[in-house]
């Protein structure tokens, strides 16, 4: 460390140009730390492009477990990563991703080299998956100086999986300014809700795979159209791509709602921001969200939100302030219909959606990460406490 600046190694399988929540977070963190004067290097198995790397990045070619994005571990790759970490003289290694092979290797290499390490848990663990998750976590988490998670809900799962008493919370971050498209904002800083005469655009952002419940969302949309006072005004936009897209589009046709639904496909963050800026309401049907980055992006755009309450959702969206949280799918549909038909409610929730965003701004979140890094450095090499379980 020189003048308080840290040399930080970020290690993960999940990194751009691959698309996903973890990818966006590791990239954003790398840039935020670099902007604060810290020296950052990313180690990843994600394939790159010919574009210049905004953050110094070393990419390891890996073969993946068939049908997954999980890299197959080999002794050669572990030795190569260990050698890079040793040569870099890093102050701390920060590993991202519960099922990231490279991240686990990074934690184990850091322990063998005497480098303090932090690992971050980005996912919830459902009980049916707990035995495997516990095995994975026991391999690496007890070699990390500090284990963190992106929400209190994810931290509870991490404690159960790892057997560690202490799991700290490090929230995801977001660029508050760039996601806002200023011409669409009203005097309150919120996106203007649709008027009584104009169309109402209901938007959802998700990867179109079974875990995200895209089929249920189509059925919910059909129920909404049957119940709202004027279905002709409603347009649904689904942003995202994935293996289930063709079947979800077919279901929209079978349900007779295809003329109301636009599938925007995979979009850049700027494209997502523009779609959100032209929307009236954001909906999320996913119950098992560790954090809900898409919800945060919708709040940055000043949108009212309707979401299924579960996981870390309530840590991002406050009920009746930023939107409405539903306990069941019936309540979810009821809430969407209510916000569509009640313009005053829609405007009130839109006006409150951006309240309290400062704590998720990258400047604040990066500072929290640096505090945790310094704690790991202070503890360096101390064996983690285990729960009595």
pLDDT at 64: 72
Domains annotated on the chain, with CATH: 7-173+361-379 (3.40.50.2000), 182-357 (3.40.50.2000)
Of 375, 356, 381, 1, nearest in space to 171 by CA? 356
Other beta carbons within 10 Å of 335: 22
CA angle 68, 239, 268 (to 5 degrees): 80
Q: What is the pLDDT of residue 181?
A: 44
Of 368, 387, 365, nearest to 376 by C-alpha is 368
| Whether the predicted model's global pTM rises above the 0.85 cut | yes
Q: Say if CB 102 and CB 12 are below 8 A apart.
A: yes
pLDDT tens for 154-186 read 999 888 877 888 999 999 999 987 444 433 445
Asked whether the bond before 17 is cis by omega within 30 degrees of 0, the reply is yes
β-pairing, 117-121 with 200-205?
A: unpaired
Looking at residue 259, its pLDDT comes to: 97
pLDDT in tens, 286-343: 887 888 899 999 999 999 999 999 999 999 999 999 999 999 999 999 999 999 999 9
**What is the pLDDT at residue 101?**
84
Tokens of 327: 């306990």
Token couple for 334? 């009821």
Q: Mean pLDDT for each consecutive 10-residue tract of the chain (389 residues)?
A: 86 90 94 97 91 94 71 81 96 89 91 95 68 62 91 91 89 78 45 64 93 90 97 96 94 97 92 95 90 93 96 95 96 98 97 95 97 93 47
| Gap between the Cα atoms of 384 and 389, Å rounded | 14
pLDDT at 298: 96
126 CB-contact burial (10 Å; exposed 0-12 / middle 13-18 / buried 19+): exposed
Q: Quote the CA–CA distance of 389 and 5 in Å, as a whole number.
A: 39
What pLDDT was estimated at residue 134?
A: 58
Look at residue 48 in the predicted model and tell me its pLDDT: 86
- Given a contact cutoff of 8 angstroms between Cβ atoms, the answer to whether 228 and 335 are in contact is no
């Amino acid at each position: 460390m020189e003048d308080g600046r840290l040399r930080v190694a970020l290690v993960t399988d999940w990194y751009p140009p691959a698309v996903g929540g973890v990818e966006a977070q590791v990239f954003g963190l790398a840039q935020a730390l670099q902007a604060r004067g810290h020296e950052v290097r990313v180690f990843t198995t994600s394939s790159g492009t010919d574009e210049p790397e905004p953050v110094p990045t070393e990419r390891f070619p890996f073969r993946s477990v068939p049908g997954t994005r999980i890299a197959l571990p080999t002794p050669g790759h572990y030795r190569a990563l260990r050698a890079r970490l040793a040569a870099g003289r890093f102050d701390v290694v920060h590993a991202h991703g519960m099922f990231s092979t490279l991240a686990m290797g990074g934690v184990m290499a850091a322990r063998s080299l005497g480098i303090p390490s932090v690992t971050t848990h980005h996912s919830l663990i459902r009980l049916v998956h707990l035995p495997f998750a516990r095995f994975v976590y026991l391999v690496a988490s007890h070699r990390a100086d500090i284990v963190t998670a992106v929400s209190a809900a994810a931290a509870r799962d991490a404690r159960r999986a790892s057997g560690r008493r202490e799991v700290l919370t490090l929230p995801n971050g977001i660029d508050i300014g760039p996601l806002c498209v200023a011409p669409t904002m009203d005097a309150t800083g919120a996106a203007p809700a649709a008027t009584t005469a104009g169309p109402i655009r209901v938007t959802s952002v998700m990867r179109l795979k079974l875990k995200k419940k895209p089929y249920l969302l189509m059925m919910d949309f059909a129920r909404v159209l049957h119940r709202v006072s004027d279905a002709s005004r409603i347009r649904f936009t689904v942003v995202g791509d994935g293996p289930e897209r063709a079947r979800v589009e077919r279901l929209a046709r079978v349900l007779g709602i295809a003329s109301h639904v636009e599938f925007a496909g995979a979009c850049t963050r700027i494209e997502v921001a523009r779609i959100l800026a032209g929307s009236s309401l954001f909906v999320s049907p996913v119950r098992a969200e560790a954090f809900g980055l898409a919800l945060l992006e919708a709040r940055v755009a000043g949108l009212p939100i309707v979401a299924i309450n579960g996981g870390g959702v309530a840590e991002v969206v406050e009920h009746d302030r930023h939107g409405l949280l539903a306990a069941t799918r019936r309540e979810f549909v009821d809430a969407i219909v209510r916000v569509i038909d009640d313009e005053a409610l829609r405007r009130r929730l839109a006006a409150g959606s951006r309240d309290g965003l400062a704590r998720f701004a990258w400047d604040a979140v990066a500072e929290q990460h640096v505090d945790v890094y310094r704690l790991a450095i202070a503890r360096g090499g101390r064996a983690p406490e285990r729960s009595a379980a």
